[in-house]
Structure 1
Amino acid sequence: MCRFSSLGDVILASSLLNPLYEKGITVDFLTFKPFGDLYRKDYRLNRVIEIDKKDLKSLKDIKNLTNNLKNNNYDYFLDIHSNLRTILLSKFLGVKTYRYKKNSIKRRLFLYKPFRNVLKDNKFNVVKAYLEILKNLNIIDLDKYRPELILLDEDFKGLDFLDKKNVVVLGTGARYKNKMYPYFSDLARILIDFKYTVVLLGSEEDKKLDKNIYPSEVIDLRGKLSLRQSLAVIQKATGTISNDSAIAHMSRAVKTPVLMIYGATHPYFGFYPFKDEGDYIIKNIECQPCDLHGKKSCKYEKQICLEISPEKIFHKFTDMLDRLSHKNITKYKERLMVK
């Protein structure tokens, strides 16, 4: 099974592991560094094969990797990346390949207003598309599966200060500016007024790009934690509010309800949470979405798509928590603490 990047996609790939494990299929997972750490000591995997992106740039690099993989005598190659690199990899590997259908053409057409009315009722979902390839292995009843990562006792060390607190995680960062909600500090103040403990998660780069000035009560852990420690913080939380970014998918993977805020991108691209995982908020204005990944420069002085009041987001968030009044994590917790 192969998904090289990016962080959110590698997390969503975890949705395949439970059905494969339950079917008794032995799975090796091929990914880029540092994402393999997400799957450390994961009982559902035989091994994680983690390689450096810089070591897989040329055709020769791909052939060398393939030669090493052939020693494992695989029966199938599950390609849930579907790019030139993985297509070549599967060709050189020479085993039966099942490939994720990216829906690329429809997603790109959705950027253009004339096509939206035609396409809007056929919403794409990345997790469903990943799972669809398992039908080739006679695995059915796939609708129940969700992204899921397994945490260890050690991941929670040093986080006792969050016990017995009503924690809300804010995922303030995103890969591109046009996906970054600008009023997280105002939202934090509202949450604090309602007795929530606010924790900021993300990278050091997320912190540098964030122009907000937060109340002193906010716990800023951006750039201070590993991926697994961040997952542990999220697992302890009541809920998460995040941009369209990896923090949202981390929340899904540890069964913590998440509200996603959409800016330049759109749920149609397939990364929205299922209703049992959370919800999303979007203005649905005429120019939205403007780019597949949110990197295009906005034609307005400020991103109108992100002009959503913090009060509206807070109410959407609390409505979501009311609907998901208890986390559906009983089965998850049975697998959570792997000694």
Structure 2
Amino acid sequence: MKKILVLHSWGMGDLILATPMLKSLKESGYKVDLAVFGGFAKVILKNNYFIDKIYELKSYKELIKFFMKYDYLVATAGTNPKKIKFLGKMLMIKKIFSMEQKRDIHRIDMNLEIVKPLLNTIDKEPYIYIKNYKDYIKKDVKNVGFAVGSGFKQKFKRWDKEKYRELINKIDGNKLVFIGNNENELEEFFKDLDVTIIKDSLENVIGTIANLDLLIGNDNGLMHIGYATNINTITIFGMTNEKETGGYRKNNESIFLNMDCRPCFDPSTDKLVCDRYDCLKNLESEKVWKICQKYL
């Protein structure tokens, strides 16, 4: 059985979008190991059947442990192919599978395209481990979540918190605001509203999201959890491309302004063309509210 090392150097949301490719490789008869930077993989992939070993790395230096141990090296979509080619040669891996992200091609399809020569079966359904967890969920009301952050390194993805405040005040029900560990300023801003602030373990957050009636948020990892758990979502896009990283179900709505300059985010470099962010600044809460009413 051929052994494949899949290298994922991006975040949690992108890893969820890579799970159809991981499943398809396993179902096509390969032994699949995953190397990922960060501490989220073993949570979202708990109890999976398609990965033999998960390695959560802190630096590229740790890749040396894979020297001459694999037949193929696969890099998930968005990774620079030149970097992967260099790593593959360094690790003495026979064949390398990597591609630049193609414009307007969804990450699920892009990941499958990368390994197309290896596949004899394709499974497009993402995987995520869902814990049965309802501590924050209330009966007989709508449970609505707000993913207001975007991580410390990608603050440019955030819709104006004042507009989130306007939207939250329009919505009735049990309102949950999800805050990351490095987003204390957002916690301070929202804590005086009629909401429950959630700063919990990733496993409990996933379990909570899976029980929501609606999740509204920026283009971030929590929205990808929403897509994977098949709940109603409304994702606010600015400079990132909804065709590449947006929802893939009928109940996943993408909202954005039609501007000639967007999307301008380059996923291979994490760079933007502009610093004005008009694509987010000019999106009013009323436009988001109108879509919310479909699910409330």
TM over 0.5: yes
Q: 1:246 offset after TM fit, Å?
A: 1.4
Contact 1:17 1:44 in 2 (8 A): yes
* In structure 2, C-alpha distance between the alignment counterparts of 1:180 and 1:248, rounded to whole Å: 13
Matches within 5 A, 1:1-339: 1-37=6-42, 38-53=44-59, 56-57=60-61, 62=63, 64-67=64-67, 70-71=68-69, 74-81=70-77, 82-83=79-80, 84-91=82-89, 92-103=91-102, 107=103, 123-140=104-121, 145-153=124-132, 156=133, 159-164=134-139, 165-174=141-150, 175-182=153-160, 183-192=163-172, 196-209=173-186, 212-213=189-190, 216-221=193-198, 224-268=199-243, 270-276=244-250, 278-292=252-266, 293=270, 298-299=275-276, 303=278, 305-319=280-294, 321=295
Residue 152 to residue 289, structure 1, CA distance change in 2 (3 Å): closer
Q: 1:32-87: per-residue Cα shift (whole Å, max 9, x none)?
A: 1313222233232211111112xx25xxx54x2332xx34xx33322215335433
Task: With the length of structure 1 as denominator, give the TM-score of the two structures.
Answer: 0.72
Residue 75 to residue 248, structure 1, CA distance change in 2 (3 Å): same
* In structure 1, C-alpha distance between the alignment counterparts of 2:98 and 2:197, rounded to whole Å: 40
Contact 1:167 1:199 in 2 (8 A): yes
* In structure 1, C-alpha distance between the alignment counterparts of 2:120 and 2:251, rounded to whole Å: 23
Greater fraction of residues in strand:
2
The letter for the 2-side match of 1:90 is G
Residue 177 to residue 101, structure 1, CA distance change in 2 (3 Å): closer
* In structure 2, C-alpha distance between the alignment counterparts of 1:86 and 1:228, rounded to whole Å: 31
Q: 1:308 offset after TM fit, Å?
A: 2.4
Unaligned runs of 5+ in 1: 108-122, 323-339
Aligned residues with identical type, % of pairs: 21
Q: 1:257 offset after TM fit, Å?
A: 2.5
- Between 305-314 and 289-298, report the one with greater CA deviation: 289-298
Give the secondary structure class of the aligned counterpart of 2:245.
coil
* In structure 2, C-alpha distance between the alignment counterparts of 1:211 and 1:291, rounded to whole Å: 29
Count of residue pairs brought into register by the alignment = 279
Contact 2:7 2:74 in 1 (8 A): yes
Task: With the length of structure 2 as denominator, give the TM-score of the two structures.
Answer: 0.81
Residue 267 to residue 304, structure 1, CA distance change in 2 (3 Å): closer
The letter for the 1-side match of 2:156 is N
Contact 1:288 1:305 in 2 (8 A): no
Contact 1:265 1:294 in 2 (8 A): no
The letter for the 2-side match of 1:135 is K
Q: 1:9 offset after TM fit, Å?
A: 1.5
* In structure 1, C-alpha distance between the alignment counterparts of 2:177 and 2:114, rounded to whole Å: 36
Q: 1:297 offset after TM fit, Å?
A: 5.8
Q: 1:80-131: per-residue Cα shift (whole Å, max 9, x none)?
A: 153354333322232332224323xxx5xxxxxxxxxxxxxxx221111001
Greater fraction of residues in helix:
1
Unaligned runs of 5+ in 2: 1-5
Give the secondary structure class of the aligned counterpart of 2:253.
strand
